[in-house]
Amino acid sequence: SQTIHQWPATLVQPVGSPLSLECTVEGTSNPNLYWYRQAAGRGLQLLFYSVGIGQISSEVPQNLSASRPQDRQFILSSKKLLLSDSGFYLCAWSFTGVTEAFFGQGTRLTVV
Amino acid sequence: RKEVEQDPGPFNVPEGATVAFNCTYSNSASQSFFWYRQDCRKEPKLLMSVYSSGNEDGRFTAQLNRASQYISLLIRDSKLSDSATYLCVVNMGGTGGFKTIFGAGTRLFVKA
């Protein structure tokens, strides 16, 4: 069966510090991968999605970036965090772009 | 216009009530549709897929109207445990392939 791992579960970082969140999927090949952010009391905002290694589509311009160095690894990064980057970050995967998505448990990021 | 729009809620209903959630999407070429449930501070989980012919899973009924670009979820005989945020989800084409877009969610509170 397929599983998705996302870490860390919680993170407190100072403004201006770098960020690296990692997500890995097991039990499938060539999944579609997604990064979402959910601000407190708000809906999920799609940040990046990827249909293959090295293929990243960005939905919202901001100071975040994503990379897919391996088939089942998706990384969300920032060189300098802003207060507004605080939120609940969720990684997800799907078999293709038209099937349901399965989520990791999320990372709750607080920028102080 | 947002790609996926939902009733803002919250919906406050007594146990045993029937409640309906509505959702509209903007991209007529959207391929697949889902309802997810999200409990407080947790990741979203798939509730059910939505098919053109309509589909039912116990107390839950989902319907899709492609001509009107409209999706609905009906919950009958509400339980306390149904309290959660319900997210309308649409898979639509993007520059990098199909992507999964979430509505902002509708909060449901079921009271004893």
The percentage of chain B sitting over the pLDDT mark of 70, rounded to a whole number, equals: 100
Model confidence at B7, pLDDT cuts 50, 70, 90, reads confident
The residue to which tokens 């997604």 are assigned: A34
Q: Which residues contact B14 (CB under 8 A, 6 or more apart)?
A: B78, B110, B111, B112
**Could you give the CA distance from residue A8 to residue A23 in angstroms, rounded to a whole number?**
10
Can you read off the two tokens belonging to residue B65?
Answer: 């109207």
User: A15 vs chain B: nearest CA distance in angstroms?
Assistant: 23
Q: What percent of chain A has pLDDT over 90?
A: 81
CA distance to partner chain B, nearest, from residue A17 (Å)? 25
Judged against a pLDDT cut of 80, whether residue B18 lies above it is answered with yes
Instruction: Flag if B104 and A98 touch (Cβ within 8 Å).
Output: no
Write the pLDDT tens digit of every residue in B37-80: 999 989 999 999 998 888 999 999 999 999 999 999 999 999 99
B95 contacts in A (CB within 8 Å)? 57
Q: pLDDT-derived band of residue A12, with 50, 70 and 90 as boundaries?
A: very high
The beta strand positions in chain A, using DSSP E, are 3-7, 10-13, 19-26, 32-38, 44-52, 55-58, 64-70, 73-78, 87-94, 102-103, 107-111
- Write the residue in B41, B96, B100 that is nearest to A101 by C-beta: B100
Q: Taking the C-alpha atoms of A21, A26, A29 and A31 in order, what is their torsion angle to the nearest 10 degrees?
A: -40
Which positions in chain B touch A47 (Cβ < 8 Å)? Answer: none
Mean pLDDT across chain B, nearest whole number? 92
What pLDDT, on a 0 to 100 scale, did the predictor assign at position A40? Answer: 81
User: pLDDT value at position A62?
Assistant: 80
Q: Among all residues of chain B, which has the CA nearest to that of A88? A: B41
CA distance B97 to chain A (A): 7
What whole-number distance in Å separates Cα of residue A23 and Cα of residue A5?
Answer: 6
| Cβ contact, residue pair B43, A105, below 8 Å | yes
Amino acid A89: pLDDT: 97
Tell me the three state secondary structure of residue A82.
coil
How far is Cα A7 from Cα A91, in angstroms, rounded to an integer?
A: 10
- pLDDT tens digit string along A85-110? 999 999 999 987 678 899 999 999 99
Q: Is B34 exposed, middle or buried (0-12, 13-18, 19+ CB in 10 A)?
A: buried
DSSP class per residue in B57-89 = ETTEEEEEETTTTEEEEEE-S--GGG-EEEEEE
Q: Residue B97 corresponds to which amino acid?
A: G
Q: List the structure tokens of B62.
A: 């989902």
- A97 and B43 in contact by Cβ < 8 A? no
What's the mean pLDDT in A29-40?
A: 92
